[in-house]
Amino acid sequence: MQKGQLSLEFLLLLLLFLCLISISFFALTKTKGFVEAELEKKEMKKMLLGISSEAEFVCALGEGNVQIVKGKLNGFSLEKEGEILRIMKGDAQFEEKMPCAFYFEEGEYGGSVLVAYEDGAVRIRKS
């Protein structure tokens, strides 16, 4: 009778241990997803500020100047609304007022972006 009771207690403790491990695993998985989403948002902000900064630089230097904004962000798109440049990926979006007139290539961007001053305006395109 003692052996059977010990086996039952051991199985209950093992079951409790496995439940705690599965709860911990679930929590870690959720945390990892949240952290990855926040890192992607930071990369979006970094890319947008890089584009804006380089646009100001090439605008100040004038015709023919080109700069490259390098980043780790892939699969983002750009949108223009007046003087505002908006970067979007999934549900996240950020915007920045551009220092001078600009236009850009439509479509999905990835990695680095080319910022050039051509024909009196900043041109943003895929590189």
Predicted pLDDT at 71: 86
- Residue 86's pLDDT is what? 92
pLDDT, residue 5, reads 67
pTM: 0.75
Residue 88 CB coordination number (10 Å): 14
Residue 67: name the closest of 81, 48, 53 by CA: 53
The residue segments making up the domain with residue 59 are 2-126
**CB-CB neighbours of 102 under 10 Å:** 20
Torsion of CA 74, 80, 81, 85, to 10 degrees: 60
Q: Which residues of the chain have pLDDT under 50?
A: 1
pLDDT score of 64:
86
Using CA atoms, how far residue 25 sits from 3, 15, 18, 76, 111, in Å, is 33, 15, 10, 31, 32
The structural domain count of the chain equals 1
Q: Kindly report, residue by residue over 45-62, the tens digit of the pLDDT.
A: 999 999 999 999 999 988
